[in-house]
Amino acid sequence: MSNIDIISDKELQKGIREFLETAPDIYMAGVSVDTVIFGFHNDKLKALMLRFGNTPYFVLPGGYIRKEENLDAAAMRILQERTALKNIYLEQFYTAGNTNRSKEEVALELTQKMIGTIPNSNWFTQRFVSVCYYALVDDTKVNPVTEIFFTEVKWFDVNKLPKVLYDHDAIINKALKRLQADLDEKLVGFNLMSETFTMGQLQKLYEAVYQKKFVRTNFQRKILSLGVLERLEKQYSGKSHKAPYLYRFVKTS
């Protein structure tokens, strides 16, 4: 183990100790928030995950609820801390509350290894009920923020998740199911796109979310019939074929 590693570990220990001391005064005990942050690039639906210390495991961005803070506000704060974005589309979809969900052997062992001796019973070892939200972001605007414990922030194809801790893979799947329902119902898809987009790009998004193909011509007819798109100028890609129109979602509210 190199010098740098040791220094970094010591800093980590100090940070953790500080957190352990202050957390019980600042946050509600027993309740946490986890967020599934969906993004869309390379025609794939992705979720943002954090590397757990220097292990090969990843976890969802999460945090705790300040004692005088509303639950939704806590979720939004946690999201903003991680993406440096404002006005994010955020939807609560599930609350996980099995007793064994935070008692994962691997996580405890890894924590112990990384941060050394800390009180046997502490903030992290308590039972948490976790309220889960999903967020839809335009990934081109996200500025992933790392921190001392979560040194890497990475997008993962929802179909190619890494090793994850706790029940976070099950949570992502629940989030996806809910997103599928909401995409039809509330037309929330544009939150995943840039301001303007072509019909082809939108179709790719729908195909990624529903994990199935749509017939191009019928998809276009269906979407246009919803009357929520405004047709803009054409987008010339330089390719030698007909250029598609750009569209923008119009708020009907």
Partner DNA sequence: ATCTATTGTATCAAAATGATACAATAAAGT
Partner DNA sequence: ACTTTATTGTATCATTTTGATACAATAGAT
Applying CB under 7 A, the residues found at the interface with DNA are 198-200, 215-218, 220-222, 224-225, 234, 236-245
List C-alpha distances in Å: 96 to 119, 167, 181, 188: 26, 9, 20, 24
Q: How many CB atoms lie within 10 A of CB 73?
A: 12
List C-alpha distances in Å: 138 to 39, 143, 192, 194, 238: 6, 11, 5, 6, 25
72 binds a second copy (CB under 8 A): yes
Nearest distance from C-beta of residue 110 to a second copy, angstroms = 24
163 binds a second copy (CB under 8 A): no
Picked from a second copy, DNA, none, the partner binding residue 112 (CB below 5 to 8 A depending on kind) is none
CB 61 within 8 A of CB 82: yes
State in Å, rounded, how far the first CA of the chain is from the last one: 58
Nearest distance from C-beta of residue 23 to DNA, angstroms = 50
Site for a second copy in 176-205 (CB under 8 A): 181, 185
127 binds a second copy (CB under 8 A): yes
Nearest distance from C-beta of residue 30 to a second copy, angstroms = 5
Segment lying near a second copy (by CB under 8 A), choices 18-26, 91-99, 164-172, 222-230: 91-99
Q: Which of 155, 151, 158 is nearest to 142 (CA)?
A: 155
The DSSP secondary-structure symbol of 244 reads P
Q: How many CB atoms lie within 10 A of CB 210?
A: 15
Which residue, 68 or 105, is less far from a second copy as judged by CB? Answer: 68
Picked from a second copy, DNA, none, the partner binding residue 65 (CB below 5 to 8 A depending on kind) is a second copy
Please tell me the chain's helix, strand, coil percentages from 3-state DSSP, rounded to the nearest 5: 40, 25, 35
Task: Give the CB-side neighbour count of residue 113, counting CA atoms within 13 A.
Answer: 11
Which residue, 177 or 234, is less far from DNA as judged by CB? Answer: 234
79 binds a second copy (CB under 8 A): no
Nearest distance from C-beta of residue 223 to DNA, angstroms = 10
**Site residues for a second copy per CB under 8 A:** 28-31, 65, 67-72, 74, 92, 94-99, 127, 129, 131, 181, 185
